[in-house]
Structure 1
Amino acid sequence: MTSDEAEKAIRFLCNQWAAEQSRQSPTEDHGDYSEFRSWLAKNGHEKYLQFESPIGAEREAETWFDQEMYQTSLRLK
């Protein structure tokens, strides 16, 4: 999988995860990357963390997560 493909999938899944979290507990705090990472594993999406990255796939995915959660927080305000 390419980094671009993984990024698109991770960003999409971040928003899907955030939507599920807000339904269960409506709060501006959408959790942290470790909770999202557990959700990925539970739902069989770990394949999206298997790509080449100069900083490491996990770290890059966490950066995308942080960016998406910031954007989600702005949209909710």
Structure 2
Amino acid sequence: MTQELAINGGKPVRDKLLPYGHQWIDEEDIKAVIEVLRSDWITQGPKVVEFEKEFAKYVGARYAVAVNSGTAAL
């Protein structure tokens, strides 16, 4: 038995939207982004290396590689 999709008039699976995560961006984050945008290092460079090292430490891994999307991660 197939059911009609909600987009086509069928019953929705849920009646409430999934909760949306709130960003925790402060002035320090904004200043760091501006600093990188004004530098010669947009996609690579010292901030990316720093992030990869800190993230690897955070998750308990030897290495981490920053990528721009989930597809690139595959």
Q: Give your verdict on TM over 0.5.
A: no
TM-score, normalised relative to structure 1: 0.28
Larger RCO: Structure 1 or Structure 2 (Cα < 8 Å, ≥ 6 residues apart)? 1
Structure showing the higher helix proportion among its residues = 1
